[in-house]
Amino acid sequence: MPVAAGVLLVGVPYSISLAAQWLYGWPNKPGCRKYIEALRPRRIYCLTRAVLETLKYLQYGKLYFQWKLWYKNDENRKHYEKGITFGRRSNKMDLYYSPQGARAAGDKPVPLVVFIYGGAWGSGDRSIYCLLARRMAEELGATVACPDYVTYPKGNVLCMVQDITDCLVWARENDKKYNFDKDNIVLVGHSAGAHLSALAILFLIDCRDELFVEAGMQRNVAKAIKGLIGLSGVYNIVDHYEHEQMRAVEYVSTMHKAMNGVHNFPYYSPEHILNTFSQDKLERIPPISLIHGTNDIIVPAESSIKFSQLLTSLCVKTALYILPNIDHTEIVTDLMVPDRHFYHAVYSCIKQEYNKLIGVC
């Protein structure tokens, strides 16, 4: 009995956490100190808990097969254009049409929603969100673009923002072909995707040379963006790193690697950038709507609350929805099919804010 208890309480946690650190990254300490840090009891048990929490994703097995089969079924191609090439890295995007949306040249163009998925800056694929994009197009009566973007280690956060910018530039140049309104664009992002969307908007308003996009085009794109709807987003990288430290995942996480180190955290934090903006630039920021669940342990709701408070203090139009009992994953997976538990609750918030952003109220 004591041996079994020892294996359960010591052997299993140490095996799980050491395997996670071996696969994804040891503590950033010199020499043998990284192993000493890795073996600290608090780190072992916190990291083991974080790893075990990922087992709840098994509940999405049915949803996995639903989107997999839907995306592979050629009969569904009537709902979307698949694999459109865009940008400097020749990324791919899918373009989804609503049943009431415009496709014919003579129809009135509908707004364009650009959905930026999350994945901790190190994973993600547009095909995973095919059901979400299809439903979003139907619920909002819009054309929905779902682009891929480079992720770590193939690129850093700046590369990701460049890819999102390239998607928006593509929209400026291809509106006639696909019959959407290039001057009526709304960004919707989840988790890291919400962070990257906010960052792209602020970089465009700031006319950053790092985007390698002509200044006039940057101004036109920024003006065309009518707003951002952020789902469970990260808006202060310094704060989020502290939260990762509390969960003992900061070294296995992709975040600090994708940012090229801790010293770049302020540079890639929307909150920090906002505090450097002049009044003129603040006035050009489109309305930002934030939606977050109270059960989110990956990105706490405090992230959206603090960002909303800062936006309000700077007189930027903002709306905040804190939804009870929703976690980090449900806020996006439950948008994929109508029978999911939080489908109507989350879409109710999205639709209310979307209609404000495009002036339909």
Domains in the chain: boundaries: 2-53, 73-357
Checking if the pLDDT of 256 tops 80, the result is yes
Look at 359 and 247; give whichever has higher pLDDT: 247
41: CB partners within 8 A, 6+ apart = none
Helices (H) and strands (E) in the chain, counts: 16, 8
Supply the pLDDT for residue 13: 64
Half-sphere exposure in the Cβ direction for 88 (13 Å, CA): 13
Residues 60-69, mean pLDDT to the nearest whole number: 91
pLDDT at 8: 46
Q: What is the pTM of this model?
A: 0.92
**What b/e sequence results for 58-74 when a residue is b if at least 16 CB atoms lie within 10 Å of its CB, and e otherwise?**
eeeeebeeebeebbeee
What's the angle, vertex CA 260, arms to CA 163 and CA 116, rounded to 5?
Answer: 30
Average pLDDT over residues 320-342: 97
% the chain with pLDDT above 70: 89
Q: Distance between CA 74 and CA 94 in Å, rounded?
A: 14
CATH, domain 73-357, list 3.40.50.1820, 3.40.50.2000, 3.90.1170.50, 3.40.50.300: 3.40.50.1820
Q: 49-63, 87-101, 132-146: which range is least confident on average?
A: 49-63
Alpha helices in 73-156 (DSSP H): 130-140
Mean per-residue pLDDT, 51-55: 77
Average pLDDT, integer, range 273-298: 97
Using only the alpha carbons of the chain, give its radius of gyration: 21
Average pLDDT, the chain: 90
Q: Which residues contact 87 (CB under 8 A, 6 or more apart)?
A: 162, 163, 166, 167, 169, 170
- In this prediction, residues 126-136 reach a mean pLDDT of 96
Categorise residue 359: left if φ over 0, alpha if ψ from -120 to 50, beta otherwise: left
Instruction: Summarize the confidence of residues 120-129 as an average pLDDT.
Output: 96
pLDDT at res. 12: 66
174-180 average pLDDT score: 94
Q: Which bin fits 101, alpha (ψ -120 to 50), beta or left (φ > 0)?
A: beta
- What is the pLDDT averaged over residues 275-298? 97
Q: Helices in the chain by DSSP H: which ranges?
A: 2-6, 12-24, 33-38, 41-53, 61-72, 130-140, 157-178, 192-205, 215-224, 237-246, 255-258, 270-274, 279-283, 302-313, 330-333, 343-357
Contact in structure between 186 and 227 (CB atoms under 8 Å) = yes
What letter represents residue 208's amino acid?
Answer: R
Task: Kindly indicate the confidence band of residue 299, based on its pLDDT and cuts at 50, 70 and 90.
Answer: very high
53, 350, 60: which is closest to 231 by C-alpha?
A: 350
**Residue 172: pLDDT over 60:** yes
Of the candidate ranges 33-47, 86-100, 195-209, 284-298, the one whose mean pLDDT is the lowest = 33-47
3-state secondary structure of 287: coil
* Cβ atoms of 205 and 221 closer than 8 Å: no
Strand order in the sheet with 80-86: 80-86, 91-96, 143-147, 110-116, 180-190, 225-231, 288-293, 318-323
